[in-house]
Amino acid sequence: MSGPAACQTPPEVLHQRGPHQMFCGLTGIVWLHRKIQDAFFLIVGSRTCAHLMQSAAGVMIFAEPRFATAILEERDLAGMADANEELDRVVGQLLERRPDVKMLFLVGSCPSEVIKLDLDRAAQRLSGQHGRPILSWSGSGLETTFTQGEDACLAALVPHLPALQEGEAPGLLVVGTLPDVVEDQFARLFEAMGLGPVRFFPGGRAEAQPPVGPGTRMLLAQPFLADTARLLEKRGAERLAAPYPFGEAGTTAWLKAAADAFGVEPGRFDAVTAPGRERARVALARHRERLDGKRIFFFPDSQLEIPLARFLSEELGMAPVEVGVPYLHRTLIAEDLARLPEGVVLSEGQDVEKQLDRCLAARPDLTVCGLGLANPLEAQGLSTKWSIELVFSPVHGYDQAGDLAELFARPLIRRGLLKV
């Protein structure tokens, strides 16, 4: 499975530019702050940023979340020195109120970038003052789309990862935020294969991040981690090429990439994965009947679109019509790309009006899109699956394969049930 598989007929790629219907990278904070449990995310931005976070975080906003926005005001825009002093004041105020915070992320936004507020320098300056790591990354819409916020955050963390100790086994590094339950499942499988040590990045606590160094093999659990992967490679890690672990086939190929790299006996690999594969097959069979032959259209959102289209076509018989991605990283996505059926149109970027025209003309059986488009498309008679749920729900691995299929089957089941 190592090395990119050749794609017989490279799919046509439409490059789109125009009005977007996509989130900015700040939204990554919503799940990142649940994962790194003692870190705080301070956005330096406008009321719009705060409003976005509130809309994206829903009721989470009421649970003393570990994120906030330092809203720029008129006087902050007057001069740079002033804005830096203000930032220092706000950080001081915040850390005084939350002394439990072990690591602070200063998160750049469109306004902070346009006024060229140097958050990298601010982070360095404040780290010294507050005796705990303060890092910065950009989640602005100018630089990042939705899940790319996680890439920017993890990339900022990479230089702070400890180096491998003398004699320490480099092991396997699984990269990308996964729900704890999924992480545990993967850890058990790797352990049963006798493969390891296995570490997950990001770790659950700020100061307990995994070490990295020459010899570290990394397996990306998410396709949107281009910068993070590049920086990990610079620190000596070697990326194992694999499709992403969605469904039975995707998960098996992903695990196999690690097993092969660590010389796990094929017999042992089969024995360890057999029960999971069987459970996934049973769970998927239930949904295959409903999804087989159905045409699906993806609006760009998270970069998960290609691996998901691979899963839906290869394992459930769905026919992707157009697969839209915000960015296409050919190397990171090569294995999934090669497994897409012939005739798929890929589109990168977006002109939402033209894409809506294409979607309505194609009249797919199911459209994967954001919440801004879902109800308007439903009103025009299309079945939709809102895409953010795919990022927030546990969907990776064998035991979530059925749940993942169900997310796509449910809108169709519902359409069949309703007599109104």
Instruction: Give Cα separations from 34 to 65, 140, 145, 223 (angstroms).
Output: 9, 20, 20, 20
Does residue 95 bind other proteins (CB under 8 A)?
Answer: no
Q: Does 89 bind other proteins (CB under 8 A)?
A: yes
Residue 347 in the binding site for other proteins (CB under 8 A): no
136 or 140, CB closer to other proteins? 140
Phi, psi values for residue 152, rounded to 5°? -65, -40
Q: Under the criterion CB under 8 A, does residue 353 sit at the interface with other proteins?
A: yes
Q: Which residues, 52 to 81, sit near other proteins by CB under 8 A?
A: 52, 54-56, 59, 61-62, 65, 67-74, 76-77
369 is in an annotated binding site: no
Q: Tell me the C-alpha distance between 231 and 320, whole Å.
A: 33
- Of the candidates 338, 302, 323, the residue with the CA atom closest to the CA atom of residue 225: 302
**Residue 192 burial (C-beta neighbours within 10 Å; 0-12, 13-18, 19+):** middle
CA dihedral 296, 330, 307, 369 (to 10 degrees): -40
* 46 counts as binding other proteins under rule CB under 8 A: yes
User: Measured from the CB atom, is 68 or 338 closer to other proteins?
Assistant: 68
In Å, what is the CA distance from 376 to each residue of 299, 372, 381? 14, 8, 9
Span of 14-22, 118-126, 216-224, 265-273 interacting with other proteins by CB under 8 A? 14-22
Say if residues 179 and 204 touch (Cβ distance below 8 Å): no
Residue 247: closest CA among 306, 187, 310: 310
User: Measured from the CB atom, is 83 or 154 closer to other proteins?
Assistant: 83
* Angle (CA) 257 259 265, round 5°: 135
**Which residue from 1, 24, 172, 218 is in contact with other proteins, where contact means CB under 8 A?**
24
Write out the two tokens for 258.
């690690």
Judged by CB, which is closer to other proteins: 47, or 286? Answer: 47
Stretch that binds other proteins, among 20-28, 30-38, 180-188, 285-293 (CB under 8 A): 20-28
What residues line the site for other proteins (CB under 8 A)? 18-26, 44, 46-48, 50-52, 54-56, 59, 61-62, 65, 67-74, 76-77, 83, 86-87, 89-90, 93-94, 110-111, 113-115, 140-143, 145, 353, 370-376, 378-379
For the annotated binding site for [4Fe-4S] cluster, the residues are 24, 49, 110
For the annotated binding site, the residues are 24, 49, 110
